[in-house]
Structure 1
Amino acid sequence: MVVLRKGILPILFAVVISFAGTRLVACAGPVWPSDDEQRFLEAYRDHVGDTATRDQYDRADKLFVEAVQVLSDTYVENVDRPTFVKTAITSLETLETEDHTPIGVVGAALDDSLHDLDPHSAYMSDEMFRRLQESTEGSFAGVGIVISQDEDKQIRIVSPIDDTPAARAGLQPNDRITHIDGHDMKGEPISEAVRLMRGRIGDAVTLTVLRKEDSFDVTVKRARIEVPSVTASIIDNDLAYIRVSRFDASTLDQTREYLGMLNDKIGGTPRGLIVDLRRNPGGLLDSAADIADQFLSDGLIVATEGRGERKMRSYEADRSEYFKGVPMAVLLDRGSASGAELMAAALRENGRGVIIGERSFGKGSMQRIMPLTAGGGLKITTGYYTTPENHIVQGNGVVPDIEIKLEDEEDFGREVDLEHALPPRRRDPRRVLASMKAASCERDINVTRIGKAATNDAPAETEGDEVVTELQRDTVLECAVGYFGDGQLAVYRDQVEPLLRAGL
């Protein structure tokens, strides 16, 4: 097993580019089809357009054979190659693709077959690689708006981001985008609107906007849009609050900046520290481990486990600890996944913080991005994450110490509810120590935003596919504030803290 020291990672593992801790691994070398694979190569030709060339067929043949070899060598579980190829042949009859080139058909068949293994493995085209790279950099080339889709299936502007082309062009909340460069957007998914609005920096895009009864065109030039992933506040003058909405390449720097500001502005030892990881879907594994390390001076943060429970890598804490000795609460909910779950587990299992909220999503598998010499590449599940106490989050989630039940709780599927989800392995034997309704600990709190958050509500999703809702009273946060004072949860503090320090 290799122990990685964050910040001095070996170059071999330095390129981390995708959602949920995915890593980039290059693949090369000659590949030859087996008899089963040859049957696929013959079968897919019946689904290709008439204009395909010999070179296109050769490239697609190589793509499929190489992909099957890579999958066989690296997937987290043993793959029966003949069965996988048979599934790919069967999928040809029901492919949903508009690209009938050889690469288009083979890529679609691979994608369908990989989804049959687990919901996170997939085939990725070159364009998908580019967009994935953008999503982990914390910035992208676009116009700078937060959008949603309304009940009439129209693209609605929730808000323009300050100091972006959209804001300077005068776009306003509740404007409807009816066309993008002439493309009718009525009924189109948000992902299509995102695709059309993004592009190269400096290139212009024309938006047809409906504002009340008036329709007009706005032409804006795309620019580099920075999307913050961290916000912070001071609550009731002496509680430090920091929210991390995802883990990308810029999250660590933002976190350090805000932690420094909190330390300076509170001007003494805070009464408590709240780290909010609710609705955080994860991101880069290195980023999540690095941010956990800001609160730990030593100890294991996370490890990875591959096929046959073989230990692969581990991440150890090695930094100075912010707010050392200050009581900490970590907020989780059912939307907290992957890196957010690992960070919360690391803080609790190292005796650093109590978890308040809901059991998390349970996405504890690791994917690697593997470029193929024939073009595109595979996103393949290659391992499981393990916590400091060797528990596995996959399928289990992280159980809170103190559970907060929401009155308006709605149905929400977790990882185990996804089709073809990988089965759980070892789970954390912990149980909820206390449970209560959120409404029972409502309290008025004074929230003072700091930094950029003081003037901008910094959305978590920008030109993305998340429907943004109106702000409501945050009763879970109010419960957490009460934990550090005289609220309903304060009665549990003296019981939970000793257990936390003892690692129970």
Structure 2
Amino acid sequence: GDFGYVHLRDFYTDAEEARSLDLLFLEQYNKMRTQGYDGRGLIIDLRLNQGGRLDFVDRMLALFVRENVIGYYLQEGDGERTPIRIRPAGRIEDDPIVILIDEKTDAGAVLFAAVMRLRRNSLVLGHHSGKHGIVHGLIPYRRNHLISVPDRYMIGPDESNLHGVGIAPVGDAYRVNEALRTSTSDDSAESFEAIRRQYAASERIFRSLIAEGAVNDPLIARAIALMNTRVTR
């Protein structure tokens, strides 16, 4: 089987789209299944994703958890924390997952990655994320108007403060990056070209990878090499 790749540009849904983000994601996931993806490994690209609706983050997380767990916390200005539980939807429980982040990954996308990195068989690769971790609420302003005001802080499932800190690739990702340095470093164009040729030769490689030139992307190439080594938690 081949690897799956999905790029989430944000945690919103287009105004004309009636379905929520999790259903759109599942549609793409099931499409990849029909194209030969067998759960071998899924790359979720959150680079340039600056967040969105927190309820969409919750629905996306629900696809990947097995049990009713505390996904994260929301902290009031006085320091009181409210645990937010994620109820499992049980759709994508076992797939190994590599999440890609960069400096533009922010807010709800950082929260999603922070929760997912503690999931079994999930790793985070890339660069240190953005550091915005404030939830905005809506309050009435004049007639028929609402204004957005910051009212709570995002706290990770390990009770780490995300605001002003963000997240970095952690755990096995550091070890894997070091282990792959000689074969898949950013300076090794030949290694990336070899990976590109290997996967371009596969008849079942997903069109989204080839169409967007994703296998020429150094970080995606590293994620593919990582999953080829079967390095998991």
Match in the other structure for 1:394: 163
Letter in 1 for 2:12: D
Residues 332 and 295 (structure 1), Cα distance of their counterparts in 2 relative to 1, 3 Å cut = same
CA deviations 1:168-209 (Å, max 9, x no partner) are: xxxxxxxxxxxxxxxxxxxxxxxxxxxxxxxxxxxxxxxxxx
In 2, Cα distance between equivalents of 1:384 and 1:304: 6
Aligned to 2:3: 239
* Pair 251,257 (structure 1): closer, same or farther in 2 beyond 3 Å: same
The one of the two structures with greater contact order (alpha-carbon pairs below 8 A, sep at least 6) is: 2
Match of 1:332 in 2: 101
Matched residue of 1:337: which SS? coil
How do residues 420-435 of structure 1 correspond to structure 2 at under 5 angstroms? Answer: 432-433=174-175, 434-435=177-178
* Structure 2 residue aligned with 1:439: 187
Which residues in structure 2 correspond to 1:51-62 (within 5 Å)? none
TM-score by length of 1: 0.38
Note if contact 1:385-1:392 (Cα within 8 Å) is conserved in structure 2: yes
Alignment of 1:256-295 (within 5 A): 256-266=26-36, 269-295=38-64
* Compared CA separation, residues 352 and 341, structure 1 to 2 (3 A): farther
Which residue identity lines up with residue 105 of structure 2 in the other structure? S
Alpha-carbon distance, 1:264 to partner? 2.8
Would the aligned equivalents of 2:70 and 2:83 in 1 still touch at CA under 8 Å? no
CA contact (8 A) 1:356 1:402 kept: no
State how 1:461-472 maps to structure 2 within 5 Å: none
Kept in 2: contact 1:296–1:352 (CA 8 A): no
Code of the residue aligned with 1:387 in structure 2: it is: G
Which sections of structure 1, spanning at least 5 residues, go unmatched? Answer: 1-236, 404-430, 458-469, 499-504
**For 1:202-237, what per-residue CA distance to the aligned partner results, in whole angstroms no more than 9, with x for missing partners?**
xxxxxxxxxxxxxxxxxxxxxxxxxxxxxxxxxxx5
Distance (whole Å) between structure 1 residues aligned to residue 100 and residue 127 of structure 2: 8
How far did residue 270 of structure 1 move? 3.1
- Tell me the residue number matched to 1:169: none
Task: State the 1:301 CA deviation.
Answer: 2.0
1:305 matched to 2:63: no
Name the CA shift for 1:342/1:287 in 2 (closer, same or farther; >3 Å).
same
How much has 1:312 moved relative to structure 2? 3.4
Q: Is contact 1:301–1:317 with CA below 8 Å preserved after alignment?
A: no
State yes or no: 1:364 paired with 2:116: no
Q: Does residue 33 of structure 2 align to residue 253 of structure 1?
A: no
Name the amino acid aligned to 2:159.
N
Distance 1:338 1:384 in 2: 10
Query: 2:77 and 2:169 mapped to 1: Cα distance?
Result: 29
Task: Give the 3-state SS of the residue equivalent to 2:221 in structure 1.
Answer: helix
* Corresponding residue SS for 1:399: coil
1:475 to 206, 218, 222: 218
Distance in 1 (alpha carbons) for counterparts of 2:73 and 2:129? 19
Contact 2:4 2:206 in 1 (8 A): no
Which residue identity does 2:90 align to in structure 1? S
> CA–CA distance in 2 between the matches of 1:326 and 1:318?
15
Shift of 1:454: 9.0
Asked whether the equivalents of residues 214 and 220 of structure 2 are also in contact (C-alpha less than 8 Å), the reply is: no
Could you tell me how far apart the structure 2 residues matched to 1:378 and 1:325 are? 41
| CA distance in structure 2 between the partners assigned to 1:302 and 1:326 by the alignment | 22
**1:330 Cα deviation from its structure 2 partner:** 0.8
Cα distance, 1:307 vs structure 2: 1.5
**C-alpha root-mean-square deviation of aligned residues, in Å?**
2.9
In structure 2, stretches of 5+ residues that fail to align are 14-19
Equivalent residue letter for 2:94 = G
Structure 1 residues 368, 374: closer, same or farther in 2, change over 3 A? same
Aligned residues: 210
Question: Take 2:220 and 2:164, find their aligned partners in 1: how far apart are those partners?
Answer: 26
- CA distance 1:454–1:327, shift in 2 (3 Å): closer
After TM superposition, the structure 1 = structure 2 runs for residues 102-501 of structure 1, keeping only pairs within 5 Å, are 238-249=2-13, 250-266=20-36, 269-298=38-67, 299-312=69-82, 314-322=84-92, 324-373=93-142, 376-401=145-170, 432-433=174-175, 434-435=177-178, 436=181, 437-440=185-188, 441-442=191-192, 443-444=195-196, 445-446=199-200, 447-449=205-207, 473-485=216-228, 490=229, 494=231, 497-498=232-233
TM-score (norm 2): 0.78
Describe the shift of the 1:388–1:276 C-alpha distance in structure 2 as closer, same or farther (beyond 3 A): same
Structure 1: 4+ residue segments shifted above 4 A? 431-436
Rg larger in structure = 1
User: Which amino acid in 2 is paired with 1:258?
Assistant: Q
Given that residues 61 and 86 in structure 2 are in contact (C-alpha distance below 8 angstroms), is that contact kept between their aligned partners in structure 1? Answer: no
Aligned-partner Cα distance in 1 for 2:100–2:65? 18
Amino acid at match of 2:186: A
User: 2:226 corresponds to which letter in structure 1?
Assistant: Y
